[in-house]
Amino acid sequence: MAHSIVDSSGTDLEQERYLRDATHHFRGIEKPLKYGPTIETLNDLITALHKEFDTNYVNIEMVNHIMLSYKSHPREWKRFAKFDRFKYTRNLVDAGNGKFNLMILCWGEGHGSAIHDHADSHCFMKMLKGDLKETRYEMPCSKAIEMPNVDIGEVNGDSDEEQEFEREQLNVVGSTTITVNDVAYINDNLGLHRVENPSHIDTAVSLHLYCPPFNECSVFHKNSGKRIKCPVTFWSKYGVRQAESKK
């Protein structure tokens, strides 16, 4: 069972169950809806998301519409964009009253994630600057190994170390280049993915929405399918760097 960070009240749990059920049939939409709200600024996007999540029965298509409708304005999001020299960073923009997490991920030249799942949640990824390459994989049947002191940004899912486990190489489904203002969508029923900045001269910035929010996920070894559970943390919150002990 995924480790959710949704409040334990009855209404919030009902919304969480509804959202998790929706991962079984929702596949994402490619264009904004004709009847959705107009989103001109990042604040419009955040306000619209709060309104959409103020019900047990979230219209996940409308959430997708909101992410698609926003057009990147660097002056609006640059204060949240915090880079690290060695790995990509996760920077919290809005905690969604515990119902969703909106964050900006910053990718230095050549930075990439491990192959990972999304803890039975919805993941929307919108490009704000540069390009990202997304590679998708089929979900394997491997059991998870706990690694509580490892962060998703620090796990090398392609390492060839530790060959003592049964091998089940991950199958690649396909790869896509995500460009500015594109929105990619994935959930665990669609598989796993790895995201990377293919450029060695330019940085990239993306806006991510996760619902329900979660504080751990699984990363996967490419050549064996080995699954490792690890926490997900924030490099900064609301534009302020988090100390290592307080992430």
Give the CA dihedral 109, 240, 114, 3, nearest 10 degrees.
-170
Alpha-carbon gap, residue 148 to 143, rounded angstroms = 16
Alpha-carbon gap, residue 105 to 40, rounded angstroms = 21
Q: Is 116 annotated as a binding residue?
A: yes
Q: Is 3 annotated as a binding residue?
A: no
> Phi then psi for 231, rounded to 5 degrees?
-75, 155
Residues 113 and 218 sit within 8 Å (Cβ to Cβ): no
DSSP E strand stretches across 115-214: 115-116, 122-129, 132-137, 144-146, 172-178, 183-186, 192-196, 204-211
Q: Which residues are annotated as a binding site?
A: 116, 118, 193
Binding residues for Fe cation: 116, 118, 193
